[in-house]
Structure formats: C-alpha cells, structure tokens
C-alpha cells in the first residue's frame, strides 16, 4: 500500500459554483410548485367536505390531507423534472458533465479500498459478488489501484468460519493473496458504521478513497474507475453516490421490484439529483468516499436523548452525508454512473423486515434534523424526506380513521342545522360526489403520470426491446401498477406498526418473520392475520354505515383482507421464473446480458461454502482446519487452556450440537483447540458422533458432482 498522492493542480477540474445558484433556484421552484399544488388541493378538499372545514374533524382531515398531498406532490415534480432532463440529454450541471470524456479518461487513479461490511449474510453469494466486481476491474485494466476488504461483524461461528473459508477460496482462485483482506471485529460496536470506522482507524490513512459495497452490491470495473477519476478531478467532493439498479430477482415480488426500479427509477433519480446537486444524500453503499474528510468529520456520536433518541445512530448514511456537507464537502448523486447494482429482498416479508429496521433508523433522524448544529438545509430536508417515507403511513391511516369518523357522525348522529346560538339560517351539509371523483383523479394523476412518463422515455429512447417489447412492456407496467396498488395498504399498515414501535421504543412483533426462500402460508397468516381482521371489521362497519362508503373503503380494505395470499403468491420463485421465460417484467440486463451479472451467477466453489456446517468443516477438513487454526488465537494462558480443553473434550464426546453458540465460538477462536479436535476426530471410532459425521462428509465428497 502506498501513501496517497494528491492529483496535480492542473488536472483538477475547475469547480463551477453556478450549481449552488441553480440548486437554490430549482429548490425554490420545487417548493413553490408543491406549495401551490397543495394549497389548491386542500382548498378543493375543503369544498368537498360536507361542512367545508367547519368542525374539528374536517380541519384535521384537511391538515392530514395537505401533508400527504404535499408528499406525493414532491415525488410528482421530481419525476417530471427527471423526465424533462432526460429528454434534453441529461442534467448539464451533473458532475459527470463538468469535464469531457477524454479528460476524465486521462485522469490518473489513486489508492482505493473497496470495503464490504457483512453481518450474517449469505456467504457464498456475497463473496461471489465481490469476485464479479474484481473480475470486472481486472477487465478494466485498473485492478492494481484497488484493495479489497471484507469487514465482518458476524457472531455465529458457522457464519464467520464460512466467511473465512470463502475469503481464502476467493483470494486463492484469483491469485490475490496480498490484495483481498478479511477482518472480523472482536466486539460489534455501533453496527455497520462502527465496522467501517474500525477499518478506517486501522487502514484508512493508507488510502485516498473508500468504495462501500453492501453484501448484495455489484459494481462494474469501468464504473469504479470512473468514480475514482471523478473524485480525483473534484477535490471538493466528499461523497459520490451512484444509483444502484435492482437485478437478479427470481421471485415474483423481486422481479416486480426490479422492473419498476429499472423502468421508473432513472426518472426519479435524475430529478432528485437535479434538485440536490452537491447536497445529495449518501445511501450507505455503492458509493465512493474521500477518506480524509470522512475520518475528520463523520465520527458518529451516540445520541444523548431518551428512548429511541438515545444510543448509537442506527441509520448512519444520511447523517454522514449531512456531516460531510457541514464540513464544506460536496455530496453528489450521479444517476448516469451505470453498472451499479443491488438486489431486492426476495419477498414482501423480507422487505418489511428491512423496513422495520429502517423505520427506526429514519425516525431517529428527527433528533439530528432538529438539534444538529450547522447542517445544511438540504440535508435537513433529506432527513425529513426519509422520515416522511415512514410517517406518511400513520398519516394515511389517520386520514382513513378521520374520514370514517366523519361518515359515522353524519350517518349515526342527527344533523344539527343550527350549531350556533341565534343562528338565522340553517347550516346545510353539502355533498359534491363529482368533486370527490375529481380529487381522486388528480391524486391518481400525481401518482401515476411519472410512471407513464418513464414508459414514454423508454419508448422515445428506443429501449422497448430491453423491457420485453412494446406489448409486454405495457402488460408488465399494468401488472406492476395493479400489484403496487395492492401492496400500498399492506405496507401502510406494517409501517404504522413500525413507526409506533420506534417512537415508543418497544417491539410490538406478533409473529416471527419468514427468512426462507418463499413465504409459507402459516407465516403469512400469522404475520398479517391481525391486519386482515382489522380491515374486515372496518369494511363491515363501512357497509353497515353506508354502502357507498363501503365501496370507497374497498381499495384499502381488500388488499389488507387478502394480505396473506398476496404475501405467499408474490414470494413464488416459480411464478417469477415463468414470467422471465416469457419476457414479462424483463429488465435490460436480462435482454442484452451483462458480464458482471453472468460472473455472479456462474457455478463457483464459493457458493459451496454454505453447503456444509462451517464449524464441523473447520474441525474435519484438513485444509480448512489448517486455515482456521492459523487465523485463530495463538495458545492462551494456562488457565484458559485448561477450560478450553474441557470444552473440547465435551465437543468430542457429545458432538458439536451439544455446545452452545458461545461455546462453539470459543473453540473456533482457539488454534490449539481446533488442532486438537481435528486430530481426535480423525481417530474417532466409526460409531461415535464424530465418526458418523466424518463418514457422512466423506460420502458427500465422493458423490458425483460434489467437490471436496
């Protein structure tokens, strides 16, 4: 590793401060558009309500409506901006367009660490992904500028031993013993940000830049090189975020997600990048960071508040972007950096599990948004955006509750025509159903017009074949819209629960989450049963009140009632693959192929590490035992040694399953114990536990198509 050298001044691209002015103008225009649109819509809804906001319930309905409308209006205008910019060939102010291609190509690289923090991830898949990235960099011819670090926080010995075995396999396969490194922290402090900070304290000063990958990230070599070159030319940029596309989905759910991400995503990210410019957010992965300012300004203190607002920052990325901005560094989102990928959660259940975590992390940002000093307004707004991503659900829920109360009040209570004393004229409730239909139409336009603009953009660019051809593209869009409409109420109810859990700092979990490939009926019913009953009761009440209100409630109630079947059917891999075979929900990488994705899906020995229990393998397999022993602790103090010897004896006599995870951790961390167990297992009588395990392992190795 060499010490980083700064790029000569003549190679630096002159920063054009005009983006700051443009950012102010664009954000002002966006705010104005959202404000005017929201005020108009709120005025309109007040005219629809029977008393036009003349009582508390109606005032609350209008207030909640205004917040929700403003939220979708922001999305609408961002989508529209993205469409316009893509039609004129891209944002002229984007970082990528501040120098020509040849200049960028000629820019020398600097030492860059590619880090992949992992915590109990599928080991084979994660490292196979890293291998694809390395192979892609090899093809770009610039591999020598990059080192790779697998940063593990895993606690389960079956996982971290597998990680170590796979890491060894990977560097041997690629012949990169001195370029691919593995580090496992003994103590997990501060989650992922603590893991990255641990890396930076140890090796950060040896590198100019750090690329952060998630366990499911994929980035093309040319793209990585381009990102380093952009950072080299723009020394004021602290973080450059690429816009990862979803790929590799197999289940129906994952394929829907990746289709919508690839079709609509570019419009929204182009619009978002144009509004944020140099004050963008960091999404935690598929991004490059300038190490020196990051270490100088992005240490995350624990929050000093109470409940949710006390302790380590859970969702670190937005906070780090805000701190970089505070330190005068620019943070850019560059949507035109292609070959940046991640994967969708395979099922709705997995997505909601992730959302539970994210909801807590994003709501924690309320503290940072309100109390952090000297943050840029744009970054406070980014916090607000993330918070609204989850708070919108309880707002929508409140809206439904308030409208139900309003209808119930009108139906069940006698109408008071003279609510005020000494009132001369009666107050008539007014009904304007046609206006309500107009209001719904306008809201739907806001939600769906950007989607149709995204389709138009694809057609105008002549990319329809990449999405399966014209007819299949439209069918796929129709399918995506129908299913996303079904998913919206389900997500809303789950997010309500997560927001409540987060705000009250409690866990209201009522059933275990499914983590297997597909969602089982039992798991789906347990997970969604209460929501379905709630929706059924609400729909029944609506019917009892007024059949018209019942019809009004159906778009929300029906998906919730059918939540369990929706969970199960969307998780089906067979359905997803059947659609793929027929080119429905097709994405460009499937149409034209991608070396990066092909490398990921190639059969590989790395994928085999997940097939055997890694603890047993570390004891039985001679090469693995040698590897794991060399990575483990050197012999310990005598007292500890004697305790470990007792534990090892027990492991030998009673088998690995008789030990707790902590006990197996102790043994797996100790070189002497591992070597002793290895020698004893090979002497084990055939009828003993280890004798049988050894026999089974040999049989598997001798089975055709199995490797040792």
Partner 1 sequence: MPQPISELLLQRILAYWAWSGVVIDAATEEKALAITARALHQPEQQRLSFSLQALLEELPGQTPIAAASPPLSRSSMHYGDY
Name which of 131 and 250 has its Cβ closer to partner 1: 131
* Under rule CB under 8 A, residue 369 binds partner 1: no
Q: What does DSSP assign to residue 397?
A: H
d(CA 160, CA 166): 10
* Under rule CB under 8 A, residue 404 binds partner 1: no
Cβ at position 702, least distance to partner 1 in Å: 8
Residue 556 CB contacts under 8 Å (≥ 6 apart), including other chains: 400, 489, 492, 535
Helix pair 157-174, 123-140: axis angle to 10 deg: 20
* Under rule CB under 8 A, residue 200 binds partner 1: yes
* Under rule CB under 8 A, residue 111 binds partner 1: no
Task: State the CB neighbour count (10 A cutoff) for residue 18.
Answer: 10
- Contact indicator for 466, 588 with CB cutoff of 8 Å: yes
Cβ at position 511, least distance to partner 1 in Å: 37
Task: Tell me the two tokens of residue 458.
Answer: 């694809």
Cβ at position 343, least distance to partner 1 in Å: 27
300-307 own/partner pairs: CB under 8 Å, 24+ apart = 300/190, 300/193, 300/197, 303/364, 303/367, 303/368, 305/367, 307/503, 307/504, 307/505
* Under rule CB under 8 A, residue 692 binds partner 1: no
* Under rule CB under 8 A, residue 1 binds partner 1: yes
d(CA 49, CA 46): 5
Task: Name the one range near partner 1 by CB under 8 A: 226-234, 372-380, 485-493, 539-547.
Answer: 372-380
d(CA 23, CA 29): 10
Cβ at position 313, least distance to partner 1 in Å: 9
Max distance between CA atoms of the chain, in angstroms, equals 103
Task: Tell me the two tokens of residue 285.
Answer: 């992965």
Task: Name the one range near partner 1 by CB under 8 A: 457-465, 539-547, 645-653, 675-683.
Answer: 675-683
The correct pick among 409, 661, 683, 706 for binding partner 1 (CB under 8 A) is 683
Task: Name the one range near partner 1 by CB under 8 A: 45-53, 335-343, 550-558, 624-632.
Answer: 624-632
* Under rule CB under 8 A, residue 181 binds partner 1: yes
Buried/exposed 149-160: b ≥16 CB within 10 Å, e otherwise: bbbbbbeebbbb
Cβ at position 624, least distance to partner 1 in Å: 8
Cβ at position 376, least distance to partner 1 in Å: 14
Name which of 461 and 696 has its Cβ closer to partner 1: 696
The correct pick among 24, 103, 177, 649 for binding partner 1 (CB under 8 A) is 177
Cβ at position 330, least distance to partner 1 in Å: 18
Cβ at position 126, least distance to partner 1 in Å: 17
Task: Name the one range near partner 1 by CB under 8 A: 290-298, 552-560, 602-610, 642-650.
Answer: 290-298
Task: State the CB neighbour count (10 A cutoff) for residue 95.
Answer: 26
* Length reported for the chain: 708
Task: Name the one range near partner 1 by CB under 8 A: 44-52, 204-212, 220-228, 420-428.
Answer: 204-212
Residue 494 CB contacts under 8 Å (≥ 6 apart), including other chains: 352, 355, 356, 393, 531
661-665 own/partner pairs: CB under 8 Å, 24+ apart = 661/155, 661/156, 661/157, 664/157, 664/158, 664/615, 665/155, 665/157
Name which of 76 and 149 has its Cβ closer to partner 1: 149
- Contact indicator for 449, 76 with CB cutoff of 8 Å: yes
* Under rule CB under 8 A, residue 708 binds partner 1: yes
Cβ at position 607, least distance to partner 1 in Å: 19
* Under rule CB under 8 A, residue 682 binds partner 1: yes
Name which of 305 and 593 has its Cβ closer to partner 1: 305
Cβ at position 370, least distance to partner 1 in Å: 10
* Under rule CB under 8 A, residue 204 binds partner 1: yes
* Under rule CB under 8 A, residue 457 binds partner 1: no
Quick check: helix, strand or coil at residue 370?
helix
Task: Name the one range near partner 1 by CB under 8 A: 134-142, 293-301, 418-426, 608-616.
Answer: 293-301
Buried/exposed 103-122: b ≥16 CB within 10 Å, e otherwise: ebeebebbbbbbbbbbbebb
The correct pick among 120, 155, 183, 432 for binding partner 1 (CB under 8 A) is 183
* Under rule CB under 8 A, residue 148 binds partner 1: no
The correct pick among 338, 626, 641, 688 for binding partner 1 (CB under 8 A) is 626
Name which of 204 and 468 has its Cβ closer to partner 1: 204
Name which of 30 and 196 has its Cβ closer to partner 1: 196
Identify the CA nearest to 200 among candidates 284, 317, 115: 115
* Under rule CB under 8 A, residue 197 binds partner 1: yes
d(CA 269, CA 336): 9
d(CA 127, CA 170): 7
Cβ at position 308, least distance to partner 1 in Å: 15
- Contact indicator for 523, 514 with CB cutoff of 8 Å: yes
d(CA 593, CA 588): 8
* Under rule CB under 8 A, residue 178 binds partner 1: yes
Task: Name the one range near partner 1 by CB under 8 A: 161-169, 248-256, 265-273, 336-344.
Answer: 161-169
d(CA 167, CA 633): 18
* Under rule CB under 8 A, residue 202 binds partner 1: yes
Cβ at position 373, least distance to partner 1 in Å: 5
Task: Name the one range near partner 1 by CB under 8 A: 178-186, 263-271, 481-489, 574-582.
Answer: 178-186
- 448 burial class (0-12, 13-18, 19+ CB within 10 angstroms)? middle
The correct pick among 188, 205, 520, 595 for binding partner 1 (CB under 8 A) is 205
Q: Report, in angstroms and rounded to the nearest whole number, the Rg of the chain calculated over CA atoms.
A: 28
Cβ at position 693, least distance to partner 1 in Å: 13
- Contact indicator for 182, 306 with CB cutoff of 8 Å: no
Task: Tell me the two tokens of residue 647.
Answer: 């534990």
* Under rule CB under 8 A, residue 299 binds partner 1: yes
Cβ at position 159, least distance to partner 1 in Å: 16
Name which of 204 and 278 has its Cβ closer to partner 1: 204
d(CA 354, CA 187): 23
Name which of 303 and 378 has its Cβ closer to partner 1: 303
Alpha helices in 204-242 (DSSP H): 221-233
Beta bridge partners of 113: 147, 210
The correct pick among 155, 297, 435, 636 for binding partner 1 (CB under 8 A) is 297
Instruction: State the residue for tokens 């299913």.
Output: 483
CA distances from 64 to 103, 398, 555, 659 (A): 51, 8, 19, 55
* Under rule CB under 8 A, residue 698 binds partner 1: yes
The correct pick among 72, 96, 174, 300 for binding partner 1 (CB under 8 A) is 300
* Under rule CB under 8 A, residue 206 binds partner 1: yes
d(CA 353, CA 491): 11
d(CA 359, CA 348): 16
Cβ at position 653, least distance to partner 1 in Å: 17
Quick check: helix, strand or coil at residue 237?
strand
* Under rule CB under 8 A, residue 188 binds partner 1: no
Residues that bind partner 1 (CB under 8 A): 1, 147, 149, 164, 167-168, 171, 177-178, 181-183, 197, 200-206, 295-301, 303-304, 323, 326, 367-368, 371-374, 621-623, 626-627, 630-631, 679, 682-683, 685-687, 694-695, 698, 701, 708
């Amino acid at each position: 590793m060499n010490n980083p050298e700064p790029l000569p001044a003549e190679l630096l691209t002159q920063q054009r401060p005009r983006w700051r002015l443009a950012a102010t103008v664009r954000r002002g225009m966006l705010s104005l558009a959202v404000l005017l649109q929201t005020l108009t819509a709120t005025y309109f809804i007040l005219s629809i309500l029977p008393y036009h906001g003349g009582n508390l319930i109606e005032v609350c309905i209008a207030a909640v409506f205004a917040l929700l409308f403003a939220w979708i209006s922001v999305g609408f205008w961002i989508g529209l901006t993205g469409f316009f910019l893509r039609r004129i060939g891209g944002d002229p102010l984007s970082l990528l367009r501040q120098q020509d291609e040849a200049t960028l190509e000629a820019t020398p690289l600097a030492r860059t660490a590619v880090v992949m923090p992992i915590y109990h991830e599928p080991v084979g898949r994660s490292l196979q992904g890293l291998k694809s990235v390395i192979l892609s960099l090899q093809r770009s011819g610039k591999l020598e500028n990059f080192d790779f670090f697998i940063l593990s926080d895993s606690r389960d010995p079956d996982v971290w031993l597998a990680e170590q075995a796979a890491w060894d396999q990977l560097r041997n396969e690629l012949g990169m013993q001195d370029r691919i490194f593995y580090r496992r922290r003994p103590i997990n402090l501060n989650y992922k940000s603590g893991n990255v900070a641990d890396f930076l304290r140890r090796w950060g000063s040896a590198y100019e830049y750090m690329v952060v990958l998630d366990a499911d990230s994929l980035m093309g070599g040319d793209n990585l090189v381009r990102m380093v070159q952009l950072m080299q030319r723009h020394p004021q940029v602290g973080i450059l975020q690429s816009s990862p596309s979803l790929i590799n989905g197999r289940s129906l759910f994952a394929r829907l997600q990746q289709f919508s991400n690839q079709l609509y995503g570019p419009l929204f990210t182009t619009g978002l990048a144009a509004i944020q410019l140099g004050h963008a957010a960091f999404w935690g992965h598929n991004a490059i960071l300038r190490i020196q300012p990051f270490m100088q300004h992005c240490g995350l203190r624990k929050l000093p508040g109470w409940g949710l607002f006390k302790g380590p920052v859970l969702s670190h990325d937005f906070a780090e972007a805000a701190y970089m901005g505070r330190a005068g560094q620019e943070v850019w989102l560059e949507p035109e950096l292609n070959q940046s990928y991640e994967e969708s959660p395979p099922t709705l259940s997995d997505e909601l599990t992730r959302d539970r975590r994210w909801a807590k992390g994003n709501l924690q940002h309320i503290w940072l948004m309100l109390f952090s000093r000297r943050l840029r307004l744009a970054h406070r707004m980014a916090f607000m955006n993330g918070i609204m991503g989850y708070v919108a659900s309880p707002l929508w829920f409140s809206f439904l509750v308030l409208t139900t109360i309003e209808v119930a009040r009108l139906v069940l209570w006698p109408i008071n025509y003279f609510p005020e004393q000494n009132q001369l004229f009666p107050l008539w409730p007014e009904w304007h159903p046609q206006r309500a239909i107009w209001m719904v139409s306008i809201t739907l336009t806001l939600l769906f017009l950007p989607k149709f603009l995204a389709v138009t953009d694809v057609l105008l660019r002549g990319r329809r074949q990449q999405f399966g051809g014209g007819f299949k593209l439209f069918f796929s869009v129709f399918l995506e819209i129908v299913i996303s409409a079904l998913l919206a109420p389900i997500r809303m109810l789950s997010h309500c629960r997560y927001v409540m859990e987060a705000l009250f700092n409690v866990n209201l979990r009522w059933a275990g989450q499914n983590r297997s490939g597909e969602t089982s009926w039992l798991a789906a019913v347990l997970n969604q049963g209460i929501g379905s009953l709630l929706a059924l009761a609400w729909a029944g009440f609506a019917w009892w009140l007024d059949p018209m209100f019942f019809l009004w409630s159906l778009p929300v109630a029906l998906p919730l009632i059918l939540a369990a079947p929706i969970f199960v059917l969307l998780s089906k891999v067979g359905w997803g693959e059947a659609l793929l075979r027929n080119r429905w929900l097709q994405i460009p990488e499937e149409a034209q192929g991608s070396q990066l994705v092909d490398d990921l899906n190639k059969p590989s020995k790395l994928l085999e590490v997940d097939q055997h229990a890694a603890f047993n393998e570390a004891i039985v397999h001679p090469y693995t035992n040698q590897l794991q022993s060399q990575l483990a602790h050197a012999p310990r103090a005598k007292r500890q040694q004697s305790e470990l010897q007792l534990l090892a004896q027990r492991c030998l006599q009673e088998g690995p399953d008789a030990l707790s995870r902590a006990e197996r951790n102790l043994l797996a961390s100790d070189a002497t114990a591992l070597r002793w167990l290895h020698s004893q297992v090979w002497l084990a009588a055939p009828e003993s536990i280890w004798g049988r395990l050894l026999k089974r392992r040999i049989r598997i190795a001798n089975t055709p198509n199995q490797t040792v």
